[in-house]
Amino acid sequence: MYRNEHDRGAPTRRHFLAYCAQWLGALATLPLANPSRAQAQRTPQPLIVASHPIVADWVRNLVGTHAAVQAIAQPQQDLHSITLHPAHLPLLRQAVTIVTMGLGTDTAFVRDCARLVPDTPRLALGDLLAPQRRLLRPTGIAPDHDHDYDHDHADSHDHTQDRDPDNTLEHGQHDDHATQYDPHFWLDPERVAEALAQALPNLITRIPSAQQSITAHAHPYLEALRALAADGRTRLADLPATHRKAFVLHDAYRYLNAAFGVELIGIDTVVPHGEVTAQRLLELKARAAREGIRILFTEAHRTSRVAQTFAQRLGLAVAGPLYAETFAPSPGPATYLDLMRHNLATIAAALRTQ
């Protein structure tokens, strides 16, 4: 029986407090639903910013799911022309580290990062290679030798003139090759593996809680890079000496040449400063005849029409394309391993059948 009408209609304050205490006691006995998941939801994933998708692909294969990796450049964007925009600033400010190609490849990007986020650690992969594993930058061409091939210079040349001032390969306005070393180390998977192995401890310091997991995840990828290099050497080992040379427009293949025993010769080493003259074309044609060069490879990030025009003028067959500095639109190579498998298979097939 209730003591009064007030008790009949609602609990007293004393009853309400006792009721709450009973429920709190019951909740205290329940296990936490999933503390690790709850913690993950509260703690944002570390962010690593990469200058280019090729660099981002390497880093993702090292750190796995322990960090988000965001590239600044687009997949088909030239490695040498990476620029920052205001929209990139929030990404840079969130990053635990910024990873670049190094060896002067993305100098402008590095300089901008140093100005905008001076306190964010930066890691230049090519700079981690031992000096004896770097190749000196070619001396026969200008430091800014990454030319703009939008115009069909070879085809438009007036052979009645010794030099047509309008008939030049335009230089890019960047200082991508400012260092003394050739930066294109990424065309040798073994050197890539060496640089990434050196970078791994640095990346782990940015995500120390995942050290063991990252190490276990990274090692199979490093082995895959070394296996790719070994497979490429095997694929090209039985080529005769007379089938190991070809022309390319861009002198970017010295590391690939050294790694796999071939010689892809950049036309811009024979045409210094981009000056395409009748004399230069004669020199190219004479070298092709003297050294048994029968092929000119096109490159995916350059105008194939220009390569075809050069090939026609020089009496060469056209092969390719090679992917030297970018990924490809689908269904082309979208990872570094696929890119290098494509390049090595394309080179082997073309040289073998010339």
180-193 per-position pLDDT tens digit: 899 999 999 999 99
As given in the structure block, the two tokens for residue 186 are 């990424």
Q: What is the pLDDT of residue 338?
A: 96
Which residues of the chain fall short of a pLDDT of 70? 1-43, 139-178, 272-275, 303
Cα–Cα distances (Å) from 304 to 150, 248, 269, 309, 316, in that order, read 10, 11, 19, 9, 14
Alpha helices in 163-266 (DSSP H): 189-206, 211-236, 254-260
Q: What is the pLDDT of residue 273?
A: 61
Q: What is the pLDDT of residue 180?
A: 87
From the list 207, 214, 297, the residue with the least C-alpha distance to 248 is 297
Residue 257 CA to residue 136 CA, distance in Å, equals 14
Cα–Cα distances (Å) from 30 to 33, 164, 211, 315, 348, in that order, read 9, 85, 33, 81, 65
Q: What is the pLDDT of residue 309?
A: 87
Write down the residue that tokens 């080992």 correspond to: 237
Q: What is the pLDDT of residue 2?
A: 41
Helix axes 189-206, 53-63, angle to 10 degrees: 60
Q: What is the pLDDT of residue 300?
A: 85
Q: What is the pLDDT of residue 277?
A: 82
Q: From the CA atom positions of the chain, what is the Rg in Å?
A: 29
As a whole number of Å, the end-to-end CA separation of the chain is 107
DSSP assignment of 119-185 equals: TS-EEESGGGS-GGGS-BPPSSS-TT--EE--S-HHHH--TTSS--TT-BPEEPSS-TT-SSB---G
Q: What is the pLDDT of residue 151?
A: 40
Burial class (CB in 10 A: 0-12, 13-18, 19+), 169: buried
Cα–Cα distances (Å) from 18 to 4, 21, 110, 215, in that order, read 20, 5, 64, 54
Q: What is the pLDDT of residue 303?
A: 67
Which sign, positive or negative, has the C-alpha torsion 134, 135, 136, 138? negative
CB 253 within 8 A of CB 184: yes
